[in-house]
């Protein structure tokens, strides 16, 4: 799940004096290709629970969510949605929604409790994911597996600070990836290596609001250099996993592999000013190009990053760049997590020593006082389908890869305070989904972009990281006391809209 960045906050919104969603344009229910697929997305720590059952080891999120004072709104993922014990029920729900695919993540510490290449393998954890995969396939739901969704083994963090030691982390990640490919790859045909490396790098090692919580004022961190070191490790570890899949598993398994990048779209705070237009482009390159250019193009980091960051940004060796260039075509798709659009304003004063934005401030209001779009249940998440379409174009023009929307969704305003009957009547979310699907249709048929699928965030309400159990993004309501699941109207809207849109002629 994407969390907020600079220039806004993570507040859950209960009410607002701003224009309500009724001021949004009507959903047109525009067509989508017959082969277009849809499903729900989740992450292991956010839904599984069973934090120490059947041999599972501790992750950095098990540690982070138990810190005192709490960094996660007093909540943790020890039980979460108890998906570990309710897999069959949750797959039945997916099937009732008509889902074609299910994107889930594998908890590294459930299958290698201590995480390292020389550490014992936990067969009970492997059995859990084998059962999940087999049950999905029995219901004609395609499994899409993410290897890493933010939950590094605590043991490898204790040993060498995980991502901060590129060589050690890369070796352990290769072992973990190889184990997953060998045990699950006969049935899993779509792999994602890392979810949102930007968030891992910046939120985990700059602001420190996510595990492992490193920054310059706590946990021994260095916000000036560590985010870039972490990003460098992720890129090289991703490439190593791609190479393993290409050489050892692709011939027999015939699957696909890539990475998922998150990102807002950025409009200039003042569209008449080249300074602010440049700032919007710079923000996109700092956010998306940081990882996209080395991974998908086999190129060095964007030149604007080198200019602004200097020796804070690590360098690839000539051999590494050749290696990245060789592996770039093996990335079969662009995984896009997207929620909202922001305005980018160039700052006139010199950047802070630990700046990681390209000296850009982002926000929801432009120079003219115009808001980018109506507010959702989170302060930072605005409904702006026009920005979504622009981002699809930006990514397509830059990387020319088929795009899969691997996360997209929102909480309704005030949803966390609603009764069950109110929460399941989630008309705001339905309108959001409809408008963003219309944007996809326009991008496909008017702009010529290849977009292959849409994974709604999320299949169910869950533990939303530093926000705990506050915001509800699910198409399924979860009562966190009883763990009872109740479908929301948006689940059946998605079922019906995809059935209808895929039968329309463009």
Residue 30 pLDDT > 80, yes or no? yes
Domain boundaries, the chain: 37-503
Tens-digit pLDDT profile for residues 312-331 = 999 999 999 999 999 999 99
SS3 assignment, position 364 = coil
Q: Report the alpha-carbon distance of residue 360 to residue 362 in Å, rounded.
A: 6
| pLDDT value at 9 more than 50 | no
Coil vs helix vs strand at 218? strand
Confidence of residue 5 (pLDDT cuts 50, 70, 90): very low
CATH class of residue range 37-503 = alpha beta
pLDDT in tens, 489-503: 999 999 999 999 999
Residue 22 has pLDDT above 80, yes or no: no
What is the band of 16 on the pLDDT scale with cuts at 50, 70, 90?
Answer: very low
What's the confidence (pLDDT) of residue 24?
A: 80
pLDDT of residue 23: 72
- 53 among known catalytic residues: no
460: Cβ–Cβ under 8 A, 6 or more apart, which residues?
40, 42, 47, 81, 90, 93, 474, 475, 476, 477, 478, 485
Compute the mean pLDDT over every residue in the chain, rounded to the nearest whole number.
95
- Section 200-228 average pLDDT: 95
Cβ(196)–Cβ(134) below 8 Å = no
Reported as type and span, the H/E element at residue 490 is helix 489-501
pLDDT band for position 12 (cuts 50, 70, 90):
low
Average pLDDT of the residues in 454-478: 98
Alpha-helical regions (H) of 318-379: 318-327
For residue 220, what pLDDT is reported? Answer: 84
Neighbours of 353 (CB within 10 A): 9
CB 179 within 8 A of CB 86: no
Residue 435 pLDDT greater than 60, yes or no: yes
CB neighbour list of residue 144: distance below 8 Å, 6 or more residues apart: 39, 101, 102, 103, 104, 188, 190, 191, 192, 455
Residue 91 has pLDDT above 60, yes or no: yes
At residue 21, does pLDDT exceed 90? no
Instruction: Respond yes or no: is residue 407 known to be catalytic.
Output: yes
Q: Is the pTM of this model over 0.85?
A: yes
Helix (H) or strand (E) holding 384: none
Structure tokens at 224: 């000036």
Residue from 48, 142, 168, 196 carrying the catalytic annotation: 196
Q: What are the structure tokens assigned to 77, written together?
A: 């993922």
- The residue from 48, 142, 362, 407 that is catalytic is 407
The proportion of the chain whose per-residue pLDDT surpasses 70, expressed as a percent, equals: 96
The Cα–Cα gap between 398 and 408 comes to: 21
Q: Is 380 left (phi over 0), alpha (psi -120 to 50) or beta?
A: alpha
The pLDDT value recorded for residue 25 is 86
Question: What is the per-residue pLDDT across 342-400, written as a single tens digit (0 to 9) for each?
Answer: 999 999 999 999 999 999 999 999 999 999 999 999 999 999 999 999 999 999 999 99
The long-range contacts involving 307-310, CB below 8 angstroms and separated by at least 24 positions, are: 308/282, 308/351, 308/355, 308/358, 308/359, 309/228
Residue 75: both structure tokens together = 């909540």
Q: Give residue 1's pLDDT.
A: 54
| Cα distance between residue 389 and residue 380, in whole Å | 19
């Amino acid at each position: 799940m994407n969390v907020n960045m600079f220039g806004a906050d993570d507040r859950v919104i209960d009410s607002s004096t701003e224009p309500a969603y009724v001021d949004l344009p009507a959903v047109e229910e525009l067509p989508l290709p017959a082969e277009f697929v849809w499903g729900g997305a989740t992450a292991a720590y956010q839904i599984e629970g069973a934090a120490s059952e059947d041999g599972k080891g501790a992750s950095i999120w098990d540690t982070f969510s138990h810190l005192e004072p709490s960094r996660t709104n007093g909540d943790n993922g020890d039980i979460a949605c108890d998906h570990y014990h309710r897999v069959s029920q949750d797959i039945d729900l997916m099937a009732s929604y008509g889902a074609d695919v299910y994107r889930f993540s594998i908890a590294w510490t459930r299958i290698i409790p201590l995480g390292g290449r020389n550490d014992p393998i936990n067969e009970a954890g492997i059995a859990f994911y084998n059962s999940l995969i087999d049950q999905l396939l029995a219901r004609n739901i395609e499994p899409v597996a993410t290897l890493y969704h933010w939950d590094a083994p605590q043991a490898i963090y204790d040993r060498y600070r995980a991502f901060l030691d590129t060589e050690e982390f890369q070796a352990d990640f290769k072992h973990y990836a190889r184990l997953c490919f060998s045990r699950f790859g006969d049935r899993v045909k779509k792999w994602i290596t890392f979810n949102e490396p930007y968030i891992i790098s910046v939120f985990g090692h700059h602001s420190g609001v996510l595990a492992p919580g490193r920054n310059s004022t706590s946990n021994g961190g260095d916000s000036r250099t560590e985010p870039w070191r972490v990003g460098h490790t992720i890129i090289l570890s991703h490439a190593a996993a791609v190479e393993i899949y290409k050489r050892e598993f692709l011939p027999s398994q015939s699957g696909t592999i890539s990475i998922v990048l998150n990102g807002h779209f950025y409009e200039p705070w003042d569209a008449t000013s080249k300074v602010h237009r440049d700032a919007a482009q710079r923000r996109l390159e700092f956010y998306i190009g940081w990882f996209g250019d080395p991974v998908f193009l086999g190129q060095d980091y964007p030149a604007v990053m080198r200019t602004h960051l200097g020796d804070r940004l690590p360098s690839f060796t000539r051999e590494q760049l050749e290696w990245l260039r060789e592996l770039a075509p093996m990335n079969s798709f662009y995984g896009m997590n997207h929620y909202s659009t922001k305005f980018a304003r160039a700052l006139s004063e010199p950047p802070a020593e630990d700046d990681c934005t390209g000296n850009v401030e982002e926000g929801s209001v432009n120079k003219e006082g115009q808001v980018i779009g109506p507010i959702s249940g989170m302060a930072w998440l605005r409904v702006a389908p026009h920005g979504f379409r622009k981002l699809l174009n930006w990514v397509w023009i830059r990387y020319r890869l088929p795009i899969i929307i691997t996360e997209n969704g929102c909480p309704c305003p005030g949803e966390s305070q609603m009764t069950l009957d109110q929460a399941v009547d989630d008309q705001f979310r339905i309108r959001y989904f409809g408008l963003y699907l219309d944007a996809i249709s326009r991008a496909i048929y008017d702009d010529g972009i290849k977009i292959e699928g849409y994974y709604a965030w999320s299949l169910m309400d869950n533990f939303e990281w530093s926000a705990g159990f506050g915001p509800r993004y699910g198409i399924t309501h979860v009562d966190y006391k009883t763990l009872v699941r109740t479908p929301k109207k948006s689940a059946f809207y998605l079922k019906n809209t995809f059935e209808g849109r895929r039968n329309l002629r463009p």
